[in-house]
Structure 1
Amino acid sequence: MIKISKEALLVRSALLSKGLENPILKEYNDIKEKERELLIAKYIYKIMCVLNLDVKNDSLKQTPTRISKMYNNEIFSGLDYKNFPKITLIDNIIKSNDMILIRDIILISTCEHHFITIYGKATIAYIPKKKIIGLSKINRIVQFYSKRPQIQERLTKQILVVLQILLETKDVAIIVHMDHFCVKARGVCDVNSVTITSCLEGWFKTKKSVRDEFFLKNNM
Protein backbone atom coordinates (compact mmCIF):
# COMPACT_ATOMS: atom_id res chain seq x y z
CA MET A 1 0.00 0.00 0.00
CA ILE A 2 1.34 3.44 -0.97
CA LYS A 3 1.63 5.74 2.05
CA ILE A 4 1.22 9.48 2.07
CA SER A 5 4.64 11.14 2.42
CA LYS A 6 5.51 13.46 5.28
CA GLU A 7 5.89 16.32 2.77
CA ALA A 8 2.39 15.68 1.44
CA LEU A 9 0.92 15.66 4.95
CA LEU A 10 2.80 18.86 5.79
CA VAL A 11 1.59 20.85 2.78
CA ARG A 12 -1.95 19.49 3.07
CA SER A 13 -2.11 20.65 6.68
CA ALA A 14 -0.85 24.11 5.67
CA LEU A 15 -3.43 24.44 2.90
CA LEU A 16 -6.23 23.34 5.23
CA SER A 17 -5.18 25.90 7.85
CA LYS A 18 -5.27 28.68 5.23
CA GLY A 19 -8.59 27.57 3.69
CA LEU A 20 -6.83 26.80 0.40
CA GLU A 21 -7.40 23.06 0.16
CA ASN A 22 -9.83 21.80 -2.47
CA PRO A 23 -13.26 20.69 -1.19
CA ILE A 24 -12.12 17.09 -0.69
CA LEU A 25 -14.11 15.03 1.80
CA LYS A 26 -11.27 12.83 3.02
CA GLU A 27 -7.49 12.81 3.20
CA TYR A 28 -7.71 9.99 0.67
CA ASN A 29 -10.51 7.96 -0.82
CA ASP A 30 -10.61 4.49 0.74
CA ILE A 31 -12.54 2.97 -2.19
CA LYS A 32 -10.29 0.47 -3.94
CA GLU A 33 -9.02 1.64 -7.32
CA LYS A 34 -10.79 -1.04 -9.38
CA GLU A 35 -14.06 -0.45 -7.55
CA ARG A 36 -13.74 3.30 -8.07
CA GLU A 37 -13.22 2.85 -11.81
CA LEU A 38 -16.28 0.59 -12.04
CA LEU A 39 -18.43 3.09 -10.14
CA ILE A 40 -17.37 6.03 -12.31
CA ALA A 41 -17.95 4.01 -15.49
CA LYS A 42 -21.41 3.02 -14.23
CA TYR A 43 -22.50 6.64 -13.77
CA ILE A 44 -20.95 7.83 -17.03
CA TYR A 45 -22.92 5.06 -18.75
CA LYS A 46 -26.13 6.38 -17.15
CA ILE A 47 -25.38 9.94 -18.26
CA MET A 48 -24.84 8.74 -21.82
CA CYS A 49 -28.16 6.91 -21.73
CA VAL A 50 -29.96 10.04 -20.49
CA LEU A 51 -28.38 11.91 -23.41
CA ASN A 52 -30.03 9.35 -25.73
CA LEU A 53 -26.72 7.97 -27.01
CA ASP A 54 -26.50 4.45 -28.40
CA VAL A 55 -24.16 2.98 -25.79
CA LYS A 56 -23.94 -0.27 -27.77
CA ASN A 57 -22.40 1.51 -30.74
CA ASP A 58 -18.81 0.39 -31.43
CA SER A 59 -17.54 3.97 -31.06
CA LEU A 60 -19.28 4.55 -27.72
CA LYS A 61 -19.45 1.28 -25.83
CA GLN A 62 -16.00 1.65 -24.26
CA THR A 63 -16.42 5.36 -23.52
CA PRO A 64 -17.52 4.89 -19.88
CA THR A 65 -14.43 2.80 -19.17
CA ARG A 66 -12.13 5.23 -21.00
CA ILE A 67 -13.52 8.20 -19.06
CA SER A 68 -13.30 6.35 -15.77
CA LYS A 69 -9.63 5.48 -16.24
CA MET A 70 -8.89 9.02 -17.42
CA TYR A 71 -10.56 10.56 -14.36
CA ASN A 72 -8.97 8.16 -11.90
CA ASN A 73 -5.42 7.83 -13.26
CA GLU A 74 -4.86 11.11 -15.07
CA ILE A 75 -6.84 14.33 -14.91
CA PHE A 76 -8.09 13.93 -11.30
CA SER A 77 -5.14 11.99 -9.86
CA GLY A 78 -4.17 15.06 -7.80
CA LEU A 79 -7.16 14.49 -5.52
CA ASP A 80 -5.23 11.71 -3.80
CA TYR A 81 -2.20 12.74 -1.74
CA LYS A 82 -0.70 9.30 -2.22
CA ASN A 83 0.18 10.66 -5.70
CA PHE A 84 2.02 13.70 -4.32
CA PRO A 85 5.43 13.86 -6.04
CA LYS A 86 8.57 12.70 -4.28
CA ILE A 87 10.34 15.88 -3.26
CA THR A 88 14.10 16.42 -3.48
CA LEU A 89 15.44 19.21 -1.29
CA ILE A 90 19.10 20.01 -0.68
CA ASP A 91 20.72 22.27 1.89
CA ASN A 92 21.74 25.64 0.51
CA ILE A 93 25.40 25.12 1.38
CA ILE A 94 26.53 27.47 -1.38
CA LYS A 95 24.56 30.28 0.31
CA SER A 96 22.79 31.19 -2.93
CA ASN A 97 20.44 34.14 -2.55
CA ASP A 98 19.86 34.91 -6.23
CA MET A 99 16.44 34.53 -7.78
CA ILE A 100 15.66 31.13 -9.29
CA LEU A 101 12.95 31.40 -11.93
CA ILE A 102 11.21 28.83 -14.14
CA ARG A 103 9.12 30.11 -17.04
CA ASP A 104 6.50 28.51 -19.28
CA ILE A 105 5.49 25.69 -16.95
CA ILE A 106 2.50 24.04 -18.63
CA LEU A 107 -0.72 23.76 -16.63
CA ILE A 108 -3.60 21.57 -17.80
CA SER A 109 -6.49 21.43 -15.36
CA THR A 110 -10.27 21.11 -15.18
CA CYS A 111 -12.75 23.85 -14.27
CA GLU A 112 -14.60 22.64 -11.18
CA HIS A 113 -17.74 24.55 -12.20
CA HIS A 114 -18.21 22.87 -15.58
CA PHE A 115 -15.71 19.97 -15.67
CA ILE A 116 -14.17 21.34 -18.84
CA THR A 117 -10.50 22.01 -19.62
CA ILE A 118 -8.50 25.03 -18.48
CA TYR A 119 -4.90 25.29 -19.60
CA GLY A 120 -2.01 27.70 -19.73
CA LYS A 121 1.44 28.53 -18.40
CA ALA A 122 3.01 29.59 -15.13
CA THR A 123 6.15 31.44 -14.13
CA ILE A 124 7.47 30.59 -10.66
CA ALA A 125 10.39 32.15 -8.82
CA TYR A 126 11.92 31.91 -5.38
CA ILE A 127 14.92 33.23 -3.49
CA PRO A 128 16.66 30.43 -1.59
CA LYS A 129 17.31 30.52 2.12
CA LYS A 130 17.96 27.19 3.82
CA LYS A 131 16.80 24.89 1.01
CA ILE A 132 16.99 24.46 -2.75
CA ILE A 133 14.51 22.25 -4.59
CA GLY A 134 15.17 20.08 -7.63
CA LEU A 135 13.87 22.09 -10.60
CA SER A 136 11.69 19.31 -12.03
CA LYS A 137 9.96 19.01 -8.64
CA ILE A 138 8.43 22.45 -9.11
CA ASN A 139 6.88 21.27 -12.38
CA ARG A 140 5.61 18.12 -10.66
CA ILE A 141 4.01 20.11 -7.84
CA VAL A 142 2.27 22.28 -10.44
CA GLN A 143 1.04 19.15 -12.23
CA PHE A 144 -0.21 17.56 -9.01
CA TYR A 145 -2.41 20.50 -8.02
CA SER A 146 -3.53 20.98 -11.62
CA LYS A 147 -4.85 17.41 -11.77
CA ARG A 148 -8.00 18.28 -9.85
CA PRO A 149 -11.24 20.10 -10.46
CA GLN A 150 -9.90 23.61 -9.89
CA ILE A 151 -10.41 27.33 -9.94
CA GLN A 152 -7.42 29.32 -11.14
CA GLU A 153 -7.30 31.66 -8.15
CA ARG A 154 -7.02 28.77 -5.68
CA LEU A 155 -4.52 26.86 -7.82
CA THR A 156 -2.21 29.89 -7.96
CA LYS A 157 -2.21 30.32 -4.19
CA GLN A 158 -1.86 26.58 -3.52
CA ILE A 159 1.33 26.32 -5.53
CA LEU A 160 2.84 29.37 -3.83
CA VAL A 161 2.02 28.17 -0.29
CA VAL A 162 3.29 24.64 -0.95
CA LEU A 163 6.64 25.99 -2.19
CA GLN A 164 6.90 28.33 0.79
CA ILE A 165 6.36 25.42 3.18
CA LEU A 166 8.80 23.06 1.46
CA LEU A 167 11.51 25.69 0.89
CA GLU A 168 11.09 27.33 4.30
CA THR A 169 10.97 30.81 2.81
CA LYS A 170 8.35 33.50 2.21
CA ASP A 171 10.21 34.71 -0.90
CA VAL A 172 8.13 33.03 -3.61
CA ALA A 173 6.24 34.46 -6.59
CA ILE A 174 3.96 33.00 -9.23
CA ILE A 175 2.06 34.34 -12.21
CA VAL A 176 -0.38 32.18 -14.17
CA HIS A 177 -1.96 32.74 -17.63
CA MET A 178 -4.82 30.37 -18.47
CA ASP A 179 -7.41 29.81 -21.19
CA HIS A 180 -10.78 28.59 -19.88
CA PHE A 181 -12.87 26.46 -22.19
CA CYS A 182 -15.90 27.18 -20.00
CA VAL A 183 -15.53 30.68 -21.50
CA LYS A 184 -14.27 29.70 -24.96
CA ALA A 185 -16.54 26.75 -25.81
CA ARG A 186 -19.78 27.59 -23.98
CA GLY A 187 -21.65 30.57 -22.57
CA VAL A 188 -20.15 33.75 -23.96
CA CYS A 189 -17.90 31.77 -26.38
CA ASP A 190 -15.07 34.30 -26.15
CA VAL A 191 -12.12 32.57 -27.80
CA ASN A 192 -9.64 35.42 -27.23
CA SER A 193 -9.69 36.22 -23.51
CA VAL A 194 -6.96 35.02 -21.15
CA THR A 195 -7.20 34.98 -17.35
CA ILE A 196 -4.12 36.10 -15.39
CA THR A 197 -3.59 35.51 -11.67
CA SER A 198 -0.53 36.21 -9.57
CA CYS A 199 0.68 35.92 -6.01
CA LEU A 200 3.85 37.51 -4.64
CA GLU A 201 5.15 37.14 -1.11
CA GLY A 202 8.23 38.15 0.86
CA TRP A 203 10.80 40.18 -1.03
CA PHE A 204 8.80 39.84 -4.24
CA LYS A 205 6.08 41.88 -2.57
CA THR A 206 8.10 44.29 -0.42
CA LYS A 207 11.20 45.01 -2.54
CA LYS A 208 10.53 46.87 -5.78
CA SER A 209 13.86 45.81 -7.33
CA VAL A 210 13.08 42.11 -6.78
CA ARG A 211 9.54 42.51 -8.05
CA ASP A 212 10.73 44.37 -11.15
CA GLU A 213 13.33 41.66 -11.86
CA PHE A 214 10.65 38.98 -11.59
CA PHE A 215 8.31 40.66 -14.07
CA LEU A 216 11.21 41.54 -16.41
CA LYS A 217 12.37 37.91 -16.56
CA ASN A 218 8.78 36.73 -16.98
CA ASN A 219 8.40 38.93 -20.06
CA MET A 220 11.75 38.16 -21.72
Structure 2
Amino acid sequence: MTLSFSPDDIRKQAVITESKPVVSEAEMQQAVRTLLLGMGEDPDREGLRDTPKRVVKALKFLTSGYQQSLDELLNGAVFHEDANEMVLVRDIDLFSSCEHHILPILGRAHVAYIPDGKVIGLSKIARICEMYARRLQVQERLTQQIADALQGLLKPQGVAVMVEATHMCMVMRGVQKPGSWTVTSSMQGVFAEDARTRQEFMELIRHRPSLH
Protein backbone atom coordinates (compact mmCIF):
# COMPACT_ATOMS: atom_id res chain seq x y z
CA MET A 1 0.00 0.00 0.00
CA THR A 2 1.35 3.43 -0.95
CA LEU A 3 1.49 5.86 1.96
CA SER A 4 0.64 9.49 1.27
CA PHE A 5 1.24 12.32 3.70
CA SER A 6 0.26 15.97 3.59
CA PRO A 7 2.89 18.58 4.52
CA ASP A 8 1.19 18.82 7.93
CA ASP A 9 1.54 15.07 8.42
CA ILE A 10 5.23 15.25 7.57
CA ARG A 11 5.76 18.07 10.06
CA LYS A 12 3.98 16.08 12.78
CA GLN A 13 6.09 13.01 11.99
CA ALA A 14 9.25 15.06 12.58
CA VAL A 15 7.94 16.77 15.70
CA ILE A 16 6.77 13.53 17.33
CA THR A 17 10.28 12.06 17.16
CA GLU A 18 12.05 15.16 18.44
CA SER A 19 13.87 14.78 21.74
CA LYS A 20 12.90 16.94 24.70
CA PRO A 21 15.93 17.16 27.04
CA VAL A 22 14.92 16.26 30.58
CA VAL A 23 18.41 16.20 32.10
CA SER A 24 21.25 18.68 32.03
CA GLU A 25 24.59 18.17 30.33
CA ALA A 26 26.19 17.97 33.78
CA GLU A 27 23.83 15.11 34.71
CA MET A 28 24.70 13.32 31.48
CA GLN A 29 28.42 13.68 32.25
CA GLN A 30 27.85 12.32 35.75
CA ALA A 31 26.12 9.29 34.20
CA VAL A 32 29.21 8.64 32.06
CA ARG A 33 31.39 8.87 35.20
CA THR A 34 29.15 6.26 36.83
CA LEU A 35 29.57 3.97 33.82
CA LEU A 36 33.35 4.34 33.99
CA LEU A 37 33.30 3.44 37.68
CA GLY A 38 31.12 0.43 36.89
CA MET A 39 33.76 -0.73 34.38
CA GLY A 40 36.37 -0.65 37.12
CA GLU A 41 38.04 2.51 35.83
CA ASP A 42 39.14 5.67 37.61
CA PRO A 43 37.35 8.59 35.91
CA ASP A 44 39.73 11.01 37.62
CA ARG A 45 42.90 9.64 36.04
CA GLU A 46 44.54 11.81 33.39
CA GLY A 47 43.35 9.90 30.32
CA LEU A 48 39.73 9.81 31.45
CA ARG A 49 39.35 13.16 33.17
CA ASP A 50 37.62 14.80 30.19
CA THR A 51 36.03 11.63 28.82
CA PRO A 52 32.52 12.30 30.23
CA LYS A 53 32.47 15.69 28.48
CA ARG A 54 33.71 14.17 25.21
CA VAL A 55 31.23 11.27 25.34
CA VAL A 56 28.27 13.60 25.90
CA LYS A 57 29.39 15.87 23.06
CA ALA A 58 29.81 12.86 20.74
CA LEU A 59 26.41 11.39 21.65
CA LYS A 60 24.69 14.72 21.06
CA PHE A 61 26.26 14.95 17.61
CA LEU A 62 25.42 11.34 16.72
CA THR A 63 21.78 11.87 17.70
CA SER A 64 21.42 15.42 16.34
CA GLY A 65 18.66 14.23 13.99
CA TYR A 66 16.22 14.56 16.89
CA GLN A 67 16.69 18.33 16.75
CA GLN A 68 15.96 18.55 13.01
CA SER A 69 12.67 18.69 11.12
CA LEU A 70 11.92 18.13 7.45
CA ASP A 71 10.64 21.70 7.04
CA GLU A 72 13.91 23.13 8.32
CA LEU A 73 16.01 20.70 6.33
CA LEU A 74 14.25 21.25 2.98
CA ASN A 75 14.21 25.03 3.16
CA GLY A 76 11.89 25.20 0.16
CA ALA A 77 14.00 22.98 -2.13
CA VAL A 78 10.99 21.30 -3.79
CA PHE A 79 10.49 22.33 -7.41
CA HIS A 80 7.77 21.84 -10.03
CA GLU A 81 9.09 19.92 -13.04
CA ASP A 82 7.54 17.80 -15.78
CA ALA A 83 10.18 15.08 -15.35
CA ASN A 84 8.79 11.56 -15.09
CA GLU A 85 11.91 9.37 -15.30
CA MET A 86 13.59 7.71 -12.35
CA VAL A 87 15.81 9.86 -10.14
CA LEU A 88 18.37 7.83 -8.21
CA VAL A 89 20.92 8.89 -5.61
CA ARG A 90 23.08 5.91 -4.83
CA ASP A 91 25.76 5.05 -2.27
CA ILE A 92 24.78 7.64 0.35
CA ASP A 93 27.03 6.97 3.34
CA LEU A 94 25.09 6.32 6.54
CA PHE A 95 26.34 6.42 10.12
CA SER A 96 23.76 5.58 12.75
CA SER A 97 23.50 4.01 16.21
CA CYS A 98 21.44 0.96 17.11
CA GLU A 99 18.86 1.62 19.79
CA HIS A 100 19.50 -1.70 21.53
CA HIS A 101 23.20 -1.26 22.36
CA ILE A 102 24.04 2.30 21.18
CA LEU A 103 26.74 0.84 18.95
CA PRO A 104 27.45 2.03 15.40
CA ILE A 105 25.55 1.06 12.28
CA LEU A 106 27.71 1.74 9.21
CA GLY A 107 26.38 1.48 5.69
CA ARG A 108 24.92 3.16 2.64
CA ALA A 109 21.53 4.02 1.23
CA HIS A 110 20.23 3.95 -2.33
CA VAL A 111 17.19 6.19 -2.86
CA ALA A 112 15.08 6.53 -6.00
CA TYR A 113 11.79 8.10 -6.95
CA ILE A 114 9.79 8.71 -10.11
CA PRO A 115 8.47 12.29 -10.11
CA ASP A 116 4.87 13.27 -10.66
CA GLY A 117 5.22 17.01 -11.18
CA LYS A 118 7.64 17.74 -8.32
CA VAL A 119 11.35 17.13 -7.72
CA ILE A 120 13.61 17.73 -4.76
CA GLY A 121 17.16 19.10 -4.62
CA LEU A 122 19.51 16.12 -4.86
CA SER A 123 21.52 17.08 -1.80
CA LYS A 124 18.30 17.12 0.23
CA ILE A 125 17.87 13.38 -0.36
CA ALA A 126 21.21 12.76 1.33
CA ARG A 127 20.26 15.14 4.14
CA ILE A 128 16.96 13.35 4.75
CA CYS A 129 18.90 10.09 5.08
CA GLU A 130 21.34 11.76 7.46
CA MET A 131 18.60 13.29 9.61
CA TYR A 132 16.94 9.95 10.27
CA ALA A 133 20.27 8.13 10.64
CA ARG A 134 21.37 10.51 13.40
CA ARG A 135 18.85 9.05 15.82
CA LEU A 136 18.79 5.81 17.77
CA GLN A 137 17.58 3.40 15.12
CA VAL A 138 16.73 -0.03 13.88
CA GLN A 139 17.58 -0.43 10.20
CA GLU A 140 14.07 -1.41 9.18
CA ARG A 141 12.58 1.76 10.64
CA LEU A 142 15.32 3.97 9.19
CA THR A 143 14.62 2.58 5.69
CA GLN A 144 10.87 3.14 6.07
CA GLN A 145 11.24 6.69 7.43
CA ILE A 146 13.32 7.77 4.43
CA ALA A 147 10.79 6.31 2.00
CA ASP A 148 7.78 7.75 3.83
CA ALA A 149 9.34 11.20 3.97
CA LEU A 150 9.93 11.35 0.20
CA GLN A 151 6.50 9.87 -0.55
CA GLY A 152 4.82 12.43 1.67
CA LEU A 153 6.81 15.41 0.47
CA LEU A 154 6.67 14.82 -3.29
CA LYS A 155 3.65 12.55 -3.90
CA PRO A 156 5.71 10.87 -6.66
CA GLN A 157 4.68 7.92 -8.78
CA GLY A 158 6.80 5.79 -6.49
CA VAL A 159 9.73 5.63 -4.09
CA ALA A 160 12.37 2.95 -3.58
CA VAL A 161 14.87 2.87 -0.71
CA MET A 162 17.47 0.22 -0.03
CA VAL A 163 19.84 0.33 2.94
CA GLU A 164 22.87 -1.95 3.26
CA ALA A 165 24.64 -1.83 6.62
CA THR A 166 26.88 -3.63 9.04
CA HIS A 167 26.02 -3.54 12.73
CA MET A 168 28.79 -3.31 15.30
CA CYS A 169 26.53 -5.06 17.82
CA MET A 170 26.94 -8.16 15.61
CA VAL A 171 30.62 -7.58 14.83
CA MET A 172 32.07 -6.51 18.19
CA ARG A 173 29.85 -8.51 20.57
CA GLY A 174 27.18 -11.21 20.52
CA VAL A 175 27.68 -13.51 17.53
CA GLN A 176 30.86 -11.59 16.53
CA LYS A 177 30.44 -11.98 12.78
CA PRO A 178 32.57 -9.42 10.92
CA GLY A 179 31.72 -9.09 7.25
CA SER A 180 27.98 -9.63 7.73
CA TRP A 181 25.66 -7.10 6.08
CA THR A 182 21.97 -6.46 6.60
CA VAL A 183 19.88 -5.31 3.62
CA THR A 184 16.46 -3.66 4.04
CA SER A 185 14.19 -2.07 1.47
CA SER A 186 10.97 -0.12 1.13
CA MET A 187 9.15 -0.07 -2.22
CA GLN A 188 6.16 2.21 -2.68
CA GLY A 189 3.94 3.13 -5.61
CA VAL A 190 5.14 1.88 -9.01
CA PHE A 191 8.21 0.27 -7.44
CA ALA A 192 5.92 -2.03 -5.48
CA GLU A 193 3.39 -2.53 -8.28
CA ASP A 194 5.61 -2.87 -11.38
CA ALA A 195 8.26 -5.59 -11.41
CA ARG A 196 10.08 -3.98 -14.37
CA THR A 197 10.46 -0.66 -12.56
CA ARG A 198 11.68 -2.44 -9.45
CA GLN A 199 14.15 -4.46 -11.54
CA GLU A 200 15.49 -1.30 -13.19
CA PHE A 201 16.18 0.15 -9.74
CA MET A 202 17.98 -3.01 -8.66
CA GLU A 203 20.13 -3.07 -11.79
CA LEU A 204 21.06 0.59 -11.45
CA ILE A 205 22.27 0.23 -7.87
CA ARG A 206 24.33 -2.84 -8.78
CA HIS A 207 26.03 -1.11 -11.73
CA ARG A 208 29.18 0.86 -10.87
CA PRO A 209 29.78 3.39 -13.66
CA SER A 210 33.29 4.61 -14.41
CA LEU A 211 33.93 8.35 -14.09
CA HIS A 212 36.80 8.15 -16.60
Q: Which category of TM-score, normalised to the shorter sequence, fits these structures? A: 0.7 to 0.9
Residues 65 and 135 in structure 2, CA contact (< 8 A), matched pair in contact too:
yes
Q: List aligned pairs for 1:1-220, cutoff 5 A.
A: 10-14=9-13, 24=17, 27-29=18-20, 36-72=24-60, 74-81=61-68, 85-87=73-75, 88-92=77-81, 95-220=82-207
Counterpart in the other structure of 1:3: none
Deviation at 1:170, TM superposition (A): 4.9
5+ long unaligned stretches in structure 2? 1-5, 208-212
Residues 14 and 69 in structure 2, CA contact (< 8 A), matched pair in contact too:
no
Deviation at 1:13, TM superposition (A): 2.8
3-state secondary structure, aligned to 1:197: strand
Q: Please list every run of at least 4 consecutive aligned residues from structure 1 whose deviation after the TM superposition is greater than 6 angstroms.
A: none
After superposition, the Cα gap between the structure-2 partners of 1:181 and 1:108, relative to the gap in structure 1 and judged at 3 Å, is same
The separation in 1 between residues aligned to 2:34 and 2:107, in whole angstroms, is 32
5+ long unaligned stretches in structure 1? 1-5
The separation in 1 between residues aligned to 2:157 and 2:12, in whole angstroms, is 17
Residues 28 and 81 in structure 1, CA contact (< 8 A), matched pair in contact too:
no
Q: Which stretch has the larger CA shift, 157-166 or 35-44?
A: 35-44
After superposition, the Cα gap between the structure-2 partners of 1:145 and 1:188, relative to the gap in structure 1 and judged at 3 Å, is same
3-state secondary structure, aligned to 1:157: helix
The separation in 2 between residues aligned to 1:154 and 1:12, in whole angstroms, is 18
The separation in 2 between residues aligned to 1:28 and 1:112, in whole angstroms, is 14
Q: Report the count of equivalent residues.
A: 200
The separation in 1 between residues aligned to 2:111 and 2:183, in whole angstroms, is 14
3-state secondary structure, aligned to 2:162: strand
Residues 107 and 165 in structure 2, CA contact (< 8 A), matched pair in contact too:
yes
Residues 191 and 198 in structure 2, CA contact (< 8 A), matched pair in contact too:
yes
Aligned CA-pair RMSD:
2.2
Deviation at 1:45, TM superposition (A): 1.1
After superposition, the Cα gap between the structure-2 partners of 1:108 and 1:97, relative to the gap in structure 1 and judged at 3 Å, is same
Deviation at 1:168, TM superposition (A): 1.8
* Aligned-partner residue type, residue 112 of structure 1: E
Residues 111 and 150 in structure 1, CA contact (< 8 A), matched pair in contact too:
yes
Residues 85 and 141 in structure 1, CA contact (< 8 A), matched pair in contact too:
yes
